[in-house]
Amino acid sequence: MQPRPATVADVPALDAIALAAKADSGYAPSLVAAWAPELRTDPRSLAGQPAWVLEAAGEVVAFCQLDPGGSPWRMVSLFVAPGRQRRGLGSRLVELAAGLARAAGERFLAIDADPRAEAFYRGHGAWAVGALAAPIPGEPARVRPQLLLPVEAPAAPATATVAATQAVRAPDGSVVHPLLRAGRGSLARFALAPGQTSRAVRHRHVEELWYVLAGRGQMWRRQGDEASVVTLLAGTALSIPPGTAFQFRADANESLLAIGVTMPPWPGDDEARAVEGPWSPEGGGAAP
């Protein structure tokens, strides 16, 4: 079953599959009817947002549509007809979409997922980077997970050392030695000189796990309206979820060194956005 590009003539079949699949996932008919305008494929959209279909005996049974107009590319829709599900068709389309994005130089594919499809996308390696409120009757706390699917080809085994790695200055002002990068995460060493305070930032999509190697300091984190400061000592581990504002500083007498794992891999300096923090960035020359 080879995918082929969708045409305008396929649109009625795409609409029928999308509506039937949404109804089959357990949503009330009234909700499916209300969502119908969003579920249907605008024939005019195919020019800029191409779609691909899978057929069985000449009948369209699954399709996906992509938006390559931004970076990362966006999954507009992916539906498999009821009765054809759990046969690998959805996975085939995910692999197709990932391959197309990868061939175009993209590193991720963005997915605005139905909550009942989140497990499917996570099974293919997608990461949650946020959520959009999407309440429905009986589910006031319902959200649509915002996911990023890494599409880079698996990397070969690699080895790195701090001594052999060129240091760079992070958006928060710390000195970073990027060490390793894989399809689902990257590893780096962060350093602040004695008395130095980073700039407060918020990461748009990535999640980080930190482990303090040496030194002493503090880290401030704010998620929503909740903020706290923790002491950083050798052996301390902490997380920085996506969207969390944070700032850290080293005590006056010794450098602060930490290892950080970024998931998905660090996408570039545009990932970090400046925010207001509790301390003024100050002090410190180059850290070791």
| Res. 107 pLDDT band, cuts 50 70 90 | confident
Would you give the end-to-end CA distance of the chain in angstroms? 56
Interval 226-277: pLDDT, tens: 999 999 999 999 999 999 999 999 999 999 999 999 988 888 888 999 999 9
Residues 234 and 128 both lie in one domain: no
Average pLDDT over residues 17-32: 95
Q: 81 vs 281, which has greater pLDDT? A: 81
229 occurs within a structural domain: yes
The predicted pLDDT at position 246 comes to: 97
283 occurs within a structural domain: no
Interval 202-229: pLDDT, tens: 998 889 999 999 999 999 999 999 999 9
The predicted pLDDT at position 287 comes to: 43
160 occurs within a structural domain: no
Q: Domain holding 230: CATH number?
A: 2.60.120.10
53-92 exposure pattern, b = at least 16 Cβ within 10 A, e = fewer: bbbeeeebbbbbbbbeeeebbbbbbbbbbeebbeeebbeb
Residues 60 and 172 both lie in one domain: no
β-partners of residue 39 are none
Residues 10 and 124 both lie in one domain: yes
Residues 139 and 60 both lie in one domain: yes
Give the separation between CA 288 and CA 275, rounded to whole angstroms. Answer: 26
The residues near 206 (Cβ < 8 Å, ≥ 6 apart) are 129, 242, 262, 263, 264, 265, 266, 267, 271
Which domain range does residue 133 map to? 4-150
Residues 39 and 173 both lie in one domain: no
* Total number of domains in the chain: 2
279 occurs within a structural domain: no
Look at residues 150, 180, 199 and tell me which one is the last residue of a structural domain: 150
Residues 130 and 209 both lie in one domain: no
| Res. 283 pLDDT band, cuts 50 70 90 | low
- pLDDT value at 68 more than 80: yes
β-strands 59-67, 73-80 pairing = antiparallel
Residues 143 and 182 both lie in one domain: no
157 occurs within a structural domain: no
Please state, rounded to an integer, the average pLDDT across all residues of the chain.
93
Residues 214 and 120 both lie in one domain: no
Look at residues 116, 150, 184 and tell me which one is the last residue of a structural domain: 150
Give the separation between CA 113 and CA 90, rounded to whole angstroms. Answer: 14
Average pLDDT over residues 125-136: 91
β-partners of residue 240 are 208
Look at residues 86, 121, 150 and tell me which one is the last residue of a structural domain: 150
133 occurs within a structural domain: yes
Residues 173 and 134 both lie in one domain: no
The predicted pLDDT at position 184 comes to: 77
The predicted pLDDT at position 288 comes to: 43
Residues 120 and 213 both lie in one domain: no
Percent of residues in the chain assigned helix, strand, coil, to nearest 5:
20, 40, 40
- pLDDT value at 145 more than 50: yes
Residues 109 and 212 both lie in one domain: no
Q: 127 vs 183, which has greater pLDDT? A: 127
The predicted pLDDT at position 149 comes to: 92
Q: Domain holding 116: CATH number?
A: 3.40.630.30
Residues 57 and 94 both lie in one domain: yes
- pLDDT value at 95 more than 90: yes
Q: 258 vs 184, which has greater pLDDT? A: 258
Give the separation between CA 276 and CA 79, rounded to whole angstroms. Answer: 42
Helix 29-39 with 11-24: angle, nearest 10 deg: 150
Residue for token pair 């410190």: 284
158 occurs within a structural domain: no
Name the percent of the chain lying above pLDDT 90: 85
- Does the global pTM surpass 0.95? no
